[in-house]
Amino acid sequence: MVQRTYEQAEKRLEEIVNELQKGGKTLDESVKLFEEGALLSDFCLQALKNAEQKITRLGETNADEAQV
Amino acid sequence: MNLPSITVSQLNTYVKKLFDTDLMFASVIISGEISNYSPHYKTGHLYFTLKDASSSLKAVMFAGQARRLRFQPENGMHVFAMGRVSVFERDGVYQLYVNELIPDGEGALTAAFRQLKQRLEEKGLFDPAHKKALPAYPKKIGIITSPGSAALQDMLNILGRRYPLAEIVLAGVTVQGQTAPLEMIGALRAFNERTDVDVLILGRGGGSAEDLWCFNDEGLAWAVYESHIPVISAVGHETDFTICDFVSDVRAPTPSAAAELAVPDAADLLRRIKTLSDGLNTAYMQKINAVRSQLRMLFAQRDFSDPGRFFVPDKLKIESLRLQLAAQTEKTMQQKRLQLEKNVTALEKLNPLRVLLRGYAMVETDAGVVQSVDALHIGETVWISLHDGSLTAQIREIKRRENDGPTHL
């Protein structure tokens, strides 16, 4: 899956659910949408469950982990 | 005329000397209302008049002392003025040389706060239209506060628990004292030079009004106003209000509350994703079921295109025909059965054995059952059947009945 933010993923998932609920899709389209939606919901769940807070100091590059 | 006299200057000098040697005048506190307030824009000295209901007194506060004032004196303000009374020789007037001014009724800080707030409000710094919305899902959060403070730890705990997806960028600054405003302004500007931080929290934990005073700095207020990144102010406790709170995009009552405002709660998001995921599955299953029933319909339609379909529409008729056939068959069978039984009964009556039972006998030869004496010769062997057995006999005599009438048994 392309690199995307949590926000984008959630937004797209919502679109997909709305699209599917609206109906009028071919079976092929529905299957594709469902697969994309399933990946997105997995991505969101994983992101929320596995995220670890990252802290840097202003002026440092992101690679340097700040000691707080 | 040569009268003994002294000059104006001599008199004023003498009077001034009298004032200056009087300890009463060396240190006084005068209570009164400020009027004719006129700060000198070049020198920074403040000139004004202190008055009460019936009298007035000229006063001056030199720039050195005036700079330390935290509030702006204004006409009509009741103050305590501390200083010494002396004479201004050039004009021959005595006046109060003010070292310090204290507002009467409200504290100096309160007055300063009120004045700055009013000034900034007039300049539009608190305009709700200027306030920026907070991002729903911040990717990076800038925190401007004292490093190692409890307030920072509280914020990090809450941010980490609620929304660990957001990266924290920390700007450690001092949050009280003279240098604090400049440090905070520097951090605000540094964050604004970046493009990756999408919300800022500026604040500190609780403290005295003096401790929090640096958040009432005008320069800081402008820096917050000019920030293109939304700023959440989080200064002290719920009851503390600073200029920063008014100019910021969102005011949080405490640093912890700011952390909660800054990010969504992952628990809510999890629930939301689960709901969406359920919705996805349901909608998908509906689609699959719809396709499945469509397929069934198609199959049914294919049957219709079959030549045999002409029979299909009138299934009921077929069924009824079938039932009729079955009923008819049953009826026929029944008739046959009755016929058969009748035949069997008739047959039974014709059974020769039944005749033998009544005492008759049947005579047979090789040629079959003997019906006439003419079919026999003397000495021929015949078989006689009775009802319970048979006999073998030889013909010894043949008597033919002469009258060939009907046989009577």
For residue A26, the distance in angstroms to the closest alpha carbon of chain B comes to 9
A9-56 pLDDT per residue, tens: 888 988 988 888 887 878 788 888 888 888 888 888 888 888 888 888
In terms of CA atoms, which chain A residue is nearest residue B291? A27
Tell me which of B302 and B37 has the higher pLDDT. B37
Cα separation, A36 vs B400, whole angstroms: 119
Looking at the fold, whether B121 and B72 belong to one and the same domain comes out as: no
Total of domains in chain B: 3
B106-131 pLDDT per residue, tens: 667 777 888 899 999 999 999 999 99
Q: Is residue B273 part of a domain?
A: no
Q: Which of A28, A55, A35 is nearest to B157 (CA)?
A: A55
Looking at the fold, whether B119 and B260 belong to one and the same domain comes out as: yes
A62 and B167 within 8 Å at the Cβ level: the answer is: yes
Looking at the fold, whether B156 and B34 belong to one and the same domain comes out as: no
Task: Examine the fold and report which residue of B264, B282, B317 is the final residue of a domain before the chain moves on.
Answer: B264
The Cβ-side half-sphere exposure at B288, using a 13 Å CA radius, reads 10
For residue B281, the distance in angstroms to the closest alpha carbon of chain A comes to 8
B153: domain CATH number? 3.40.50.261
In terms of CA atoms, which chain B residue is nearest residue A25? B287
Rg of chain B on CA atoms, in Å: 65
pLDDT of A63? 46
Q: Is residue B28 part of a domain?
A: yes
pLDDT > 50? residue A68: no
User: Who among B139, B169, B172 is closest to A5 (CB)?
Assistant: B139
Looking at the fold, whether B158 and B250 belong to one and the same domain comes out as: yes
pTM of the full structure: 0.59
A55 and B168 within 8 Å at the Cβ level: the answer is: yes
| Residue pairs spanning A and B at CB distance below 8 A | 108
Q: Is residue B176 part of a domain?
A: yes
A41 and B277 within 8 Å at the Cβ level: the answer is: yes
Query: In percent, how much of chain B has pLDDT > 70?
Result: 90
In the sheet with B250-251, reading across from the earlier edge strand, the strands are A55-57, B167-172, B140-145, B199-204, B231-235, B250-251
Looking at the fold, whether B79 and B17 belong to one and the same domain comes out as: yes
Task: Examine the fold and report which residue of B210, B241, B264 is the final residue of a domain before the chain moves on.
Answer: B264
Task: Examine the fold and report which residue of B234, B264, B294 is the final residue of a domain before the chain moves on.
Answer: B264
pLDDT of B251? 95
Of A12-16, B84-88, B91-95, B258-262, minimum mean pLDDT range: A12-16
Looking at the fold, whether B101 and B120 belong to one and the same domain comes out as: no
Residue A21 with chain B: CB contacts under 8 Å: 279, 283
User: Who among B137, B147, B277 is closest to A6 (CB)?
Assistant: B137
CB atoms within 10 A of CB B260: 17
pLDDT > 80? residue B238: yes
Looking at the fold, whether B72 and B92 belong to one and the same domain comes out as: yes
Q: Is residue B57 part of a domain?
A: yes
A48 and B165 within 8 Å at the Cβ level: the answer is: yes
Looking at the fold, whether B187 and B247 belong to one and the same domain comes out as: yes
Name the pairing type of β-strands B250-251 and B381-386. Answer: unpaired
Looking at the fold, whether B141 and B65 belong to one and the same domain comes out as: no
For B49, residues 6+ apart whose C-beta sits below 8 A from its C-beta are B34, B35, B36, B56, B57, B58, B59
A39 touches chain B (CB under 8 A): no
Q: Is residue B54 part of a domain?
A: yes
pLDDT of B288? 82
A37 touches chain B (CB under 8 A): yes
B169 and A10 within 8 Å at the Cβ level: the answer is: no
ipTM of the complex: 0.79
Q: Is residue B89 part of a domain?
A: yes
For residue A52, the distance in angstroms to the closest alpha carbon of chain B comes to 5
B33-78 pLDDT per residue, tens: 999 999 998 999 999 999 988 899 999 999 999 998 888 888 888 8
Q: Is residue B83 part of a domain?
A: yes
User: Who among B139, B191, B284 is closest to A34 (CB)?
Assistant: B284
3-state secondary structure of B289: helix
At A67, is the pLDDT very low, low, confident or very high (cuts 50, 70, 90)?
A: very low
Cα separation, B279 vs A21, whole angstroms: 8
Looking at the fold, whether B99 and B170 belong to one and the same domain comes out as: no
B90: domain CATH number? 2.40.50.140
Looking at the fold, whether B236 and B161 belong to one and the same domain comes out as: yes
Which domain range does residue B366 map to? 353-394
Q: Is residue B304 part of a domain?
A: no
Looking at the fold, whether B119 and B259 belong to one and the same domain comes out as: yes
CB atoms within 10 A of CB B163: 24
